[in-house]
Structure 1
């Protein structure tokens, strides 16, 4: 049976160039490294090193064995780490729900950091509108939710505000709004508006963000933007969604009459009250509360 310590000695000797260098690298005696490699050769029935020269040199069989040994050692390390994570109560899966109105870039850097810190935790991300998202938290269908502040957070749910999302009014370059220095409220009301369905489900956003008498809805914010690009209507969306589109010249933002200041509202991370999330109970929420997020702005006025 293969011995992990023998494999470690073999790989160290191959990478360090000699048994003495491998011993120094591993903090062991040269004899223990040499014995480990010898026993591995006996167990495998092959010669791993040519010892006829001053420094041992890998044989052809040793070259092939080295790559396999590295794979086995990586797997052994994964098993050790997984076992430690299990003992420390780190869950196997984290289910996250994100409001369709929010850009994924709000959480992508935190997801990356989390994947490095908890490599054995699988992440399941779904898109759920305001009411469905909080219900999913209460029913334990998801562990973390990211949404836009509504009129009140329901009982049984805790939250942290992690960012202020800036909203902008957008239209296509061919829109009648494109050349207007300021678009009147009367004009906005008379032209078709495209909205994400989640906005209509959020009481605060519906009251403050739905202006037109002619409203089309879409489930996905990206679909809203595509409809605006086609000149079918105008929309109010988070600025982050349109940066690339503006650079390409397929979308422009315009200033409406009602806008006196930047249009902002809070994005929150929510979780079920009194829920134990293993070692990650507070870690994840703190990841998204970090103040260096490019979406966090601190305006003196909040309109939305």
Structure 2
């Protein structure tokens, strides 16, 4: 059976270029690294390093075994991390309900950090309208919901506002709105507006953001952006989704009369008060609170 300590010494020595550098890296003496590599060579019956020069150089056999050894070490690390997760009662999965009106960018950094810290926990993202997500939360089909509140949240839920979402109006560079300082409500009502179904049907935002007599409905906000870029109409969208496109010039921000003072709306993180929470759920909550 291959000794993992010997294997670690071999891989580290190959990576660092010498036994002394390998020893410093893993906190062991040069002689310990040298003995470990020699013992591995005896166990395998091959010479892994040519030691005739100032620094050890991988032999042809050593080069082949080095690649295999790295794979074995990664597998050993995965097993160690997995068993550590079992001891710490790390969740096997976590389901996050995301309202289509909530930009994915609000959670992508948190998800990246979770993937690194808890690599064996499966994350599932469910995109549905807010009220539908609350029903799934009640039925324990999702663990967290991020949405733009439409009505009072029931007392048996815990919630926190994690971000104030700023909204702005945009059009294509070819639109007549692009060169206007403030676009009047009268002009807005006569020009086609692009709006996604979730926003159009939102009990609060739908009423205050729908102005035009000519409406085209899109599936989600990403579709809205593409349609506005094509010059099909104007739209009200979260500013965080538009910064790159405005910088590139494919979208132009303008000020509508009905939003002269700007507009913002809170994104709430909602979870069940009675639900038990493992380390992944707690970490997600911490990350989202900190980002807000």
Taking structure 2 as the reference length, the TM-score comes to 0.87
CA shift in 2, pair 1:214/1:46, >3 Å: same
- Tell me if structure 2 keeps the 8 A contact 1:23–1:33: yes
2:46 aligned with 1:46, yes or no?
Answer: yes
The aligned counterpart of 1:108 is: 108
Residues 28 and 213 of structure 1, relative CA distance in 2, 3 Å threshold: closer
Give the secondary structure class of the aligned counterpart of 2:142. Answer: coil
Aligned partner of 2:69 in structure 1 is: 69
Whether contact under 8 Å (1:150, 1:204) holds in the other structure is: yes
Alignment CA distance shift 1:153-1:54 (3 Å): same
Structure 2: gaps (5+ residues)? none
1:129-140 correspondence runs (5 A): 129-140=129-140
Q: What corresponds to 2:179 in structure 1?
A: 179
Q: Is the 8 A contact 2:118 2:280 kept in 1?
A: no
Name 2:244's counterpart in structure 1. Answer: 244
Are 1:95 and 1:144, in contact at CA under 8 Å, matched by a contact in 2?
yes
Residues 114, 280 of structure 2: 8 Å contact kept: no
Describe how 1:1-304 pairs up with structure 2 within 5 A. Answer: 1-15=1-15, 26-27=26-27, 33=33, 35-50=35-50, 57-291=57-291
Residues 43, 149 of structure 1: alpha-carbon distance in 2 compared, 3 angstrom cutoff: same
Q: 1:193 Cα shift?
A: 2.0
Shift of 1:45: 2.4
More displaced, 62-71 or 46-55? 46-55
In structure 2, how many angstroms separate the alpha carbons of the residues matched to 1:230 and 1:241? Answer: 17
For this pair of structures, how many residues does the alignment match? 292
Q: Which runs of 4+ in 1 moved over 6 A?
A: none
Query: How many angstroms apart in 1 are the aligned matches of 2:165 and 2:127?
Result: 18
Per-residue deviation at 1:203? 1.0
Q: Tell me, in whole angstroms, the C-alpha distance in 1 between the residues paired with 2:210 and 2:85.
A: 47
Q: Once superposed, what is the RMSD of the aligned Cα atoms?
A: 2.7
- Looking at structure 1, the residues matched to 20 and 226 of structure 2 have their Cα atoms a distance apart, in angstroms, of 65
Q: Which has the higher helix share?
A: 2
SS at structure 2 position matched to 1:150? coil
Q: Distance in 1 between matches of 2:13 and 2:256?
A: 70
Q: 1:137 to 1:201 in 2, by over 3 A?
A: farther
The separation in 1 between residues aligned to 2:7 and 2:51, in whole angstroms, is 18
CA contact (8 A) 1:159 1:271 kept: yes
Verify the 8 A CA contact 2:94 2:281 in the aligned structure 1: no
Distance 2:269 2:20 in 1: 54
The 3 A distance-change label for structure 1 pair 173 and 56 is closer
Mind listing any 5+ residue stretches in structure 1 that lack a counterpart? Answer: 294-304
